[in-house]
A and B are shown apart, each in its own frame.
Chain A
């Protein structure tokens, strides 16, 4: 069974601080996605990384896919209260069903003004 472990599970920081959340697995994924979910809503895709070692930037967010395609990180610079939410990583099963996304448990981020 492929598992994605996210850390930390909870993170509470002050506005302006930097943070990194991690997504790790012992399995290889064909691609890895990061989502943000707010209460009462479905997850919203932030980025998809496909190539080992790939780095993508989305404004203050930087995403990295590990060289071996087993892990990823999300770094937020100068966090703002609007960044508050649940951050989920999800891996596409390498060689498996195209539809089968495997999600981590998420990192619940709270940014205080």
Chain B
């Protein structure tokens, strides 16, 4: 079956611009996660959805970052007034129920470059 897909695969933008990153989880997975991976680092948790609601958004670095999942499937990560420090690979993952022992399946990521 299809895995987690993310679009675009690469995004180059200018400082101060607005960007949207999309994640299509595995069909039927109720839990969806966003992580950010900077060069030479492991993924850093941003936000976790259970269905349509954000169950934990404690990892969002500031109010320029926002994510939605209006129908409990596709999710969009939105970044306003981008800064050079936002440059990273943004990873999305989904799992069947969100239980701690559930396997999180990761997408290939969106590489964001802010010039």
Contact = CB atoms under 8 A, between A and B. Distances in A.
Given A44-B106, A45-B104, A92-B100, A97 B48 contact: yes
Given A42-B93, A42-B109, A48-B101, A99 B42 contact: no
Contact of A88 (B31, B43, B105, B109): B43
Interface of B: 4, 31, 33, 35, 40-45, 48, 50, 55-56, 58-59, 91, 93, 98-101, 103-109
In the complex, which range does the number of interface residues on chain A fall in? 20 to 34
Contacts of A88: 42-43
Contacts, number: 72
25 contacts: A30-B100, A40-B108, A42-B4, A42-B93, A50-B101, A88-B42, A88-B43, A90-B42, A92-B100, A92-B101, A97-B48, A97-B58, A98-B48, A98-B55, A98-B98, A99-B33, A99-B45, A99-B50, A100-B56, A100-B58, A101-B35, A101-B45, A103-B42, A103-B43, A103-B44
